[in-house]
Chains A and B, each alone.
Chain A
Amino acid sequence: MTWALDHAADLSRKAAARLAEGRPDVAAAMFVRAFDTLESPGARIPGSEDLRLRILEGLHAATAKTGDPSALVPRLAMMATAAVRLAFVPSLVRKLAVDLARDDGDAVGIYLAALESRRPLDRPTLAAVLRILARALRIRSRSEPEEVQDLVPKIERLLACRPGLDFPRLYLARYHHAVEQWGRARQLLLGIRGPMKTDIKVLNLLGRCAEKLNRPEEAVAAYERSLRQREAQGLIHFRLGRLLLGAR
């Protein structure tokens, strides 16, 4: 263990020297080796967090010069919760979201950690991050629950740190509806306060949950509001007719 710490520290010092010599590509490779010495599977060294954070700072400095953060992102994602307090994170998030539009799992992990940290992001960066998360975490009406269940904890994290957002509520409601937790789905939908409140996707799902929960009048009201938004919805006319008829 001590050997690994000493070895990583030694590599990190040498990498910093290479960076100072103007060889960021070599420095980046050495920082990666240093980090991986401490983070390789099954070999995480206890008490190495400070060193790993210093390595990440060095790796960021090196990749900032090469212009390619691909070596940094997965390593930052590994310890995103701790690493988001590093000074460079907001600028990295901006680069990932605005410049590179990264929506892979590592980038999403960094975005979520950045949002959870409450560190301020500039408006364009925040808008880009939310746009990417809305796409990357999307659960569709027809999504199979087992295919999207890994997204649920991420969406819940997002909703916990940004409770005013509408789309995580809709996505979670779709998931809970799919697994027949209609009460939870309804609760999420009723919590939508923004522009999506009158979206037909929200109203139709709310109507469906109300039907399942034997709240026919609530379902009728939701479907009627939906049809006011868009009249040409055959399925909603059908459901509304069925409800008014009292048929099952």
Chain B
Amino acid sequence: MNSLRPDLACIASWIKPGACVLDLGCGDGTLMSTLLDKNCSGYGVEISDEAIVSCIKKGVNVIQQDIEAGLDMFRNAVFDVVVLSMAIQATHQTEKVLSEMSQVGFECIVSLPNFGYWRHPLSILKGRMPISKEMPYEWFNTPNLHWATTWDFEDFLSRLGLKVLGKAFFCLGKPINWWPNLRSTQAIYRFQRKKKV
């Protein structure tokens, strides 16, 4: 519990005890397992074989499914919160994933790497693609397809008609309060679909 990644700890703190949660790309089930301790219920969704077994070992309900294949399986279920942690940048159909999330859950939480972090453009100015602890890949083997700064992502949410309810920023695990677009390596947003008037 103590070793929970700061971004996951932040997400967990935003989720009320007893909530029903869908964790898309849940990995080894760490977040869901923490939430179960808060009397939350719900499911992780994962595509990786090893992660499925890890989730089972942690007692986490997990559904093996490619989230990009659509969330049809969840369309009739109801979730208080849908989480997508550090995976949005690797999706092909980013817009579809975000809008499906907002339909399945009352509230959504998304975390993503901030490409605007000052070292990244500096690295490009120096003539090299940035490599960092949170983006440890070379240009030829990165699973990350879509790069956004925190401002880009906020624009995108508003274009999709999604209302930001809260945000938090981290730089290598430490909270960042000012100039987050330049100083944070990671951003977390909480949002929901704007109610139709």
Does B bind A? no
- Give the interface of A toward B (CB within 8 A): none
- Give the interface of B toward A (CB within 8 A): none
